[in-house]
Structure 1
Amino acid sequence: MKVFIAGLPLEVNEAELSAVFGDFGPVKSLRIIKDRETKESRGFGFVEMVNDDEAKEAIRCMNGASYYGRKITVNVAEDKGGPVTTNGGGKGGFRRN
């Protein structure tokens, strides 16, 4: 299960976050999203855990928790990579008559 984390303090690195989520179960992958130009954290990331029940427990325990004095949001990641729809896709967002 893929988990979304928002509100991450900028000083948190991937190794530390992996260890935190690793307390709930094995971490399959982890990525803190960084700015393309500055390479600094954008304050959110994704963790993919091997076991769904362990991921749900991590969400339950960590959502709303204080991490380095900041309240973090942790929930199931939404899949944004869906299929392209045919209603106007690729035409600039307006209909030509």
Structure 2
Amino acid sequence: MNTKLFVGNLSFNTTENDLQDAFAAHGTVVEANLMVDRTTGRPRGFGFVTMSTPEEAQKAIDALNGAALDGRNLTVNIARPREERPATSGRNRY
């Protein structure tokens, strides 16, 4: 089992520290990242948290999936590898 978790349905007011604090109650947080829009710099409403062991990752999923954080019910599950997207050159996209 992977130790990297996808965290979705985050409030745009949630910070990486908020995320780390929420998950730290269920084990050691190795890393917490919020995804932001490259253009605007605004949060995209999801992020990733890496726990130190698969057991801690499962514990965090069990405790936090559906739990409220900043007024939003979280979606927490094992992060899947990003799917490869075909490269586009910017031409012939219509």
Q: TM-score range by the shorter chain?
A: 0.7 to 0.9
Q: Is the aligned partner of 1:4 residue 2:6? A: yes
User: CA-to-partner distance for each residue in 1:13-44, whole Å, 9 max, x for gaps?
Assistant: 10121111111111111110001122111000
State the SS of the aligned residue for 1:3.
Answer: strand
The two structures have a TM-score, normalised by structure 1, of 0.79
Instruction: Answer with 1 or 2: which has the greater Rg.
Output: 1
State the SS of the aligned residue for 1:37.
Answer: coil
| Alpha-carbon distance in 2 for matches of 1:81, 1:73 | 20
Counterpart in the other structure of 2:69: 67
| Alpha-carbon distance in 2 for matches of 1:53, 1:10 | 29
Amino acid across the alignment from 1:69: G
> How many residue pairs align between the two structures?
87
State the SS of the aligned residue for 2:80.
Answer: coil
The two structures have a TM-score, normalised by structure 2, of 0.81
Counterpart in the other structure of 1:86: none
Unmatched segments (≥5 aa) in structure 2? 90-94
**Runs of 4 or more consecutive aligned structure 1 residues displaced over 2 Å after TM superposition:** none
Unmatched segments (≥5 aa) in structure 1? 83-88, 93-97
User: CA-to-partner distance for each residue in 1:2-21, whole Å, 9 max, x for gaps?
Assistant: 00000000001101211111
Which of residues 18, 29, 32 in structure 2 aligns to 1:30? Answer: 32
